[in-house]
Structure 1
Amino acid sequence: MKNQVLIGCSSFNNRFWKGIFYPDNLSSSRWFEFYCQYFNTYEFNGSFYKFPTVRIFENWYKKTPENFIFSVKAPKEITHLKKFNDCEDRIKEFYEVCETGLKEKLGCILFQFPPSYQFSAEKLDQIIRNLDLKFKNVIEFRHESWWNEEVWSAFRTHNITFCSVSHPQLPSTIFTDFPLIFIRLHGKPKMFYSSYSPEELLDIKNAIDLKSAFVYFNNTASEAGILNALALKHMLE
């Protein structure tokens, strides 16, 4: 992936998109197939709620076109319940399931920590020690204490990407000096619902143009996510 911007959404099974993106007469069983005609990446979030299996990912692999890329979110068992404590084997298993099932279609592995997870040097060290650095690891924090130079420097040293987020309670910095740019747009001011203006999308476009980036719209509780994704894709064409 050299100087390629991949744009997608964090869900696709969305009734609000019918008649706006999905044709009215298209069966919901074909929605993802239709999505793949417009986008070449998808952020797989189902793995956050239930630990995935190789078979599940093999099925996703088979139903996507050549050159399609998945980013996969780590299970909350790892990031929210255990918070990387005593789960080295589970993390290793997760990597193996992703790699075996998705093969060359595996893009980034996303680890998103909860708002209660605040910065400490010990936690930073624990994160780095538990990651398999041969993968494209992306870390998303939900507490502002992680926005500091100690974290950024350690991540750059170990080839880890600090996730850029658009979130009502967090800084909106788009980080361009990590192994790749990874942006999650959750909706502001109303999380999951709010749409981004053409001016906001243009700012994103200018920040990532001619660079390697993954951009995922997670404002999918309405029609906003798909319309924003299509608009940004058009801006970059």
Structure 2
Amino acid sequence: MPASHRPRVLIGISGWTYAPWRGDFYPAGLAHRKELGYASEQLTSIEVNGTFYAMQKPSSFTKWHDETPDDFVFAIKGGRYVTHIKRLVGVEGALANFFATGVLTLGDKLGPFLWQLPPNLEFDAQKMSDFFAVLPRTVSAAITLAELRDDKLAEDRVLLPASSDRPLRHCVEARHQSFACDEAVELLRKNDIAFVVADTAGKYPYVDTPTADFIYARFHGDEELYASGYTDAALDRWAGKIADWTATGRDVHVYFDNDIKGYAPFDAMKLIERIDR
């Protein structure tokens, strides 16, 4: 990375549409259509998880771009059709459709792509290498891939930006213990793919070895998966780790996914306060 690079720390939540948050994180009476705008004023980034469940309309990406501050960043969760149905095999066409639907038009607000693997997908070096080989690393490469989209994707669901050499980042969240090995770490490092630092109350592998020029962390719950909040002591520890990561010149993305009891946005704001001190 350039010597002049100043690391950014982007902290937010995974998704933003949660009914139980209304009247708690979101002010009572706030129109649902204004929730993204409100969340983006309190946080610095959001991980879009709707893209995991289904391809979004181009108009959605345009709307999200226009409703958020200029320096806001979206991380994009890759489609489960790629990771859970196709299981990373023969996915060129699926990726072409995914990148054709308007996600690239987020422009400077487009952050990393997250590829969350199913818990029963074991580490296979060849399978992972083949998958990494088809991931586009620039906007131009993604546009070229998008041109291979199939006719199942209607033309009114296609929106592509002007070609550019803007780099695209990717990260992998592995959920099978076999990924917690030196071979997997080295393979991700070789391909400049970030190994997601996943805090999962001990359920899934925890690897915090940097393997790319950025760090991507997901906080699913300190003691209970998706449910427990983070204590002040825990947030202090994570703030210290973030400081260590940025000291190496790496950008850091952190997303709280402990949403069941509504802790996520409040924990994110508390961590932002610690980073801003």
TM-score, with length taken from structure 2: 0.79
* Greater shift in the superposed pair: 152-161 or 124-133: 124-133
Q: State the match for 2:144 in structure 1.
A: none
**1:13 offset after TM fit, Å?**
2.1
The partner residue of 1:82 within 79, 82, 86 is 86
Q: State the match for 1:8 in structure 2.
A: 12
Q: State the match for 2:188 in structure 1.
A: 155
Gaps of 5+ in 2: 139-167
How do 1:81-120 and structure 2 match up within 5 A? Answer: 81-120=85-124
Instruction: Give the Cα separation in 1 of the matches to 2:272 and 2:86.
Output: 37
The partner residue of 1:73 within 65, 70, 77 is 77
Q: State the match for 2:136 in structure 1.
A: 132
**1:17 offset after TM fit, Å?**
2.9
**1:99 offset after TM fit, Å?**
4.6
How do 1:190-201 and structure 2 match up within 5 A? Answer: 190-201=224-235
Gap change, CA 1:136 and 1:98, over 3 Å in 2: farther
Q: State the match for 1:40 in structure 2.
A: 44
**1:86 offset after TM fit, Å?**
1.6
> How many residue pairs get matched?
237
**1:98 offset after TM fit, Å?**
4.9
* Greater shift in the superposed pair: 98-107 or 42-51: 98-107
**1:218 offset after TM fit, Å?**
0.5
CA RMSD of aligned residues (A): 1.8
The partner residue of 1:63 within 58, 64, 67 is 67
The partner residue of 1:225 within 245, 257, 264 is 264
Partner secondary structure for residue 15 of structure 2:
coil
Partners of 2:185 and 2:209 within 8 A in 1: no
Partner secondary structure for residue 111 of structure 1:
strand
**1:177 offset after TM fit, Å?**
4.8
Q: State the match for 1:172 in structure 2.
A: 206
Partners of 1:175 and 1:181 within 8 A in 2: no
Partners of 1:156 and 1:179 within 8 A in 2: no
Partner secondary structure for residue 138 of structure 1:
strand
Partners of 2:229 and 2:258 within 8 A in 1: yes
**1:205 offset after TM fit, Å?**
0.7
**1:234 offset after TM fit, Å?**
0.8
Give the counterpart letter for 2:224 in structure 1.
K
Q: State the match for 1:122 in structure 2.
A: 126
Structure 1 runs of 4+ aligned residues shifted over 6 Å read: none
Gaps of 5+ in 1: none
Residue by residue, what CA displacement relative to the aligned partner does 1:47-80 show, whole Å, maximum 9, x if unpaired?
1111223222122112112111110001111100
Residue by residue, what CA displacement relative to the aligned partner does 1:145-196 show, whole Å, maximum 9, x if unpaired?
1111112112222211111101131243433453211001111432211111
Give the counterpart letter for 1:187 in structure 2.
G
% identical equivalent positions: 27
Residue by residue, what CA displacement relative to the aligned partner does 1:72-125 show, whole Å, maximum 9, x if unpaired?
001111100001212212213323435533122110011111001001222222
Instruction: Give the Cα separation in 2 of the matches to 1:56 and 1:133.
Output: 23
Give the counterpart letter for 1:143 in structure 2.
H
The partner residue of 1:214 within 249, 253, 266 is 253
* Greater shift in the superposed pair: 19-28 or 37-46: 19-28
**1:207 offset after TM fit, Å?**
0.8
Instruction: Give the Cα separation in 2 of the matches to 1:85 and 1:177.
Output: 23
Gap change, CA 1:67 and 1:224, over 3 Å in 2: same
Give the counterpart letter for 2:232 in structure 1.
P
